[in-house]
Structure 1
Amino acid sequence: MARKSNAETAANTGRLKQIALTYKMTRKADPKVGLIVAGVGIVTFGVLLAIGFLIGHELYLGILGFLVAFLAMAIVFGRRAERAAFGQMEGQPGAAAAVLDNVGRGWTTTPAVAMTRQQDIVHRAVGKAGVVLIAEGNPNRVKPLLANEKKKLARIMPDVPVHDFIVGTGEGEVPLKKVRT
C-alpha cells in the first residue's frame, strides 16, 4: 500500500480549513446556512431513497441519493457563500477589481487605471470581446474618468471595441454580483 505524501496531506488539511473558514464567514452573514444546507441534503437523499423503495432498487438509489445529496449541498453552500462574500464586499473601494481578478478564462485585469481623490476608480479588463472598463464610485465623477480612458484606448487601439460599466445599485448601474458575467 502506498502512503500519502506530506504534500497531499497538507493540501487536504488546507482545503478542510478553507471550507471551515468559508462556513464561518457565511454563517456571520447568513445564520441559517447550516440548517438550509442540511435540509437540502436530507430532502434530496430522502426523495431518492423513497423512489428506490417504490421501484425496488433501494440500495442503488440510496447510494445515488447520497451522492446527489452531497452535490446539492455543495451547490447550495457555494451559492450562499458567494452571496455572503458579495454582501461583505458591496460598497468597499476596489470590490469590482476583486471580482474581476476571479474572472479568469482569458481575461487580463488591470486594477485602478484611473482614480480620483474621492476613491472613484476605473479598472480595465482585456479579453476576446475587447476592452471592458469597470468604474466604481459616484456616477457623476466616474463618467469623465471613463470618457478619458475611452479616448486613450481609441488612440492606441482604434478598431477594438470598448465597453464601459458603472458598478452600483442605481439606475443604469451594474450590481457587483453581475460584474463577473
Structure 2
Amino acid sequence: MASEKAKALAAQQKAERKAEKLRKKNSDDPRDWGRVRQIIEAYRRTNEVDPQLKWWTTAAVAGPIIVSVLVGLWVQPWWLWLITGVMLALVLVLSVLTWRVKQANFKRYEGQAGSAEVAFQLLNKRKWSYEVGIAATRQMDIVHRVIGRPGIVLVAEGNPSRARALLATETKKHEQVAYGVAVTNVLVGRGQGEVSLENLQKHIEKLPNVLQAHQITEVKQRLRALDAMRPKIPVPRGPMPTMKGVNRAMRGR
C-alpha cells in the first residue's frame, strides 16, 4: 500500500515537472526563459532596430581570437593562447550585446508614452524605487516618480509645455505631503533644459544625496495617502528586450 502511494506520488511529481518545463518552453515571459534563450531573444529583438549589431558582435568574437592566434604563432603553446582568445571573445561579445541592447531599447521606445521606464529599469533596485504614471493628461503627457537618497524625483514626458504644467502641479502636491523633502523635476526630451532618454538613468543617479535610508521609508509612507486618492493611469507598455540573461551570463551565474 505504501509503495503504491509512493509510486503514485513520484508519478505525479514527474508529471508536474514535465508540465512546468513545457509551460516555460512556450512562455513569452522572459523570467521563464533559460539563460541561452534570453541571450538569443535579446539579440533577435535588438537586431530588429540595430542593423549594425551583427557587425559589432562579429568583430567582438573575431578580434580576440585572431589576435590570440597571431600571438600563439610567436609564443608557444599556441593552443593556450587560442583558449585565452575564445574566453576573451565570450566576455567581449556579451559586453557588446549588453551595450547594444541598451541603445536599442532607447531607440525603440524614445518618444512613446511610458518610455522613461526603460531607464528606470536600469536603476539599482536596492537604492531606488519608482512608480510609473502617477499622473497624466488626456494627451498622455505623463509624470513618473522615483524615490532614493536624492529625495523625490518627478520625471515627465510628453509635450514640453503641458508636461511642465503637470510637473508643477505634482510638485506642489508632493511638497505638501513630503514636509520639506527635496522634490526634483526632470523633463525627458532633447530640447534645452531636457534630459534625453539614454541619459536619464545617469542623470538621476548623479543627483546629490539628501536622505538617509530610514528617511526614504518615511517618505514612502507619507506618499501612500496621496497615491490612494489617485485613479490608476493606464501607461502603454511593450515587450522590452531584456538584458537579464546577458548580465547573468557575464556574472557567470
TM-score range, shorter chain: 0.7 to 0.9
Structure 2: which 5+ residue stretches go unaligned? 1-16, 25-30, 203-253
Aligned pairs (5 A) from 1:146-165: 146-165=167-186
TM-score of the two chains, using structure 2 as the length reference: 0.63
1:170 maps to which of 191, 195, 203? 191
Q: 2: CA distance between counterparts of 1:163 and 1:29?
A: 33
Task: Identify the residue that residue 163 of structure 2 maps to in structure 1.
Answer: 142
Aligned-pair distance for 1:18? 2.2
Aligned-pair distance for 1:102? 4.0
Task: Identify the residue that residue 26 of structure 1 maps to in structure 2.
Answer: 46
Cα–Cα, structure 1 residues 107 and 13, in superposed 2: closer, same or farther, change >3 Å? closer
1:96 maps to which of 116, 124, 146? 116
CA RMSD of aligned residues (A): 2.5
Aligned pairs (5 A) from 1:100-115: 100-103=120-123, 104-115=125-136
Task: Identify the residue that residue 148 of structure 2 maps to in structure 1.
Answer: 127
Q: 2: CA distance between counterparts of 1:124 and 1:65?
A: 45
Secondary structure of the residue that 1:180 maps to in structure 2?
helix
Aligned-pair distance for 1:152? 1.8
Q: Is residue 2:67 matched to residue 1:47?
A: yes
Structure 1: which 5+ residue stretches go unaligned? none
Q: 2: CA distance between counterparts of 1:126 and 1:12?
A: 29
Aligned-pair distance for 1:154? 1.8
1:68 maps to which of 88, 91, 95? 88
Q: 1: CA distance between counterparts of 2:176 and 2:55?
A: 56
- Please say if residues 111 and 124 of structure 1, whose CA atoms lie closer than 8 Å, have aligned partners that are also in contact: yes
Cα–Cα, structure 1 residues 152 and 15, in superposed 2: closer, same or farther, change >3 Å? same
Q: 2: CA distance between counterparts of 1:140 and 1:32?
A: 36
TM-score of the two chains, using structure 1 as the length reference: 0.85
- Please say if residues 64 and 85 of structure 2, whose CA atoms lie closer than 8 Å, have aligned partners that are also in contact: yes
Alpha-carbon displacement from aligned partner over 1:23-76 (angstroms, at most 9, x marks no partner)? 221221122322331222111121133234333343332222111111111111
Q: 2: CA distance between counterparts of 1:101 and 1:23?
A: 19
Amino acid at match of 2:113: P
Secondary structure of the residue that 2:51 maps to in structure 1?
coil
**Bigger proportion of residues as strand:** 1
Task: Identify the residue that residue 106 of structure 2 maps to in structure 1.
Answer: 86
- Please say if residues 113 and 123 of structure 1, whose CA atoms lie closer than 8 Å, have aligned partners that are also in contact: yes
Query: Which range moves more in the overlay, 134-143 or 150-159?
Result: 150-159
How many residue pairs match? The answer is: 177
Alpha-carbon displacement from aligned partner over 1:75-134 (angstroms, at most 9, x marks no partner)? 112211221121111111011134314422321111112211111011000011211111
Secondary structure of the residue that 1:179 maps to in structure 2?
helix
Cα–Cα, structure 1 residues 12 and 153, in superposed 2: closer, same or farther, change >3 Å? closer
Task: Identify the residue that residue 118 of structure 1 maps to in structure 2.
Answer: 139
Amino acid at match of 2:153: V
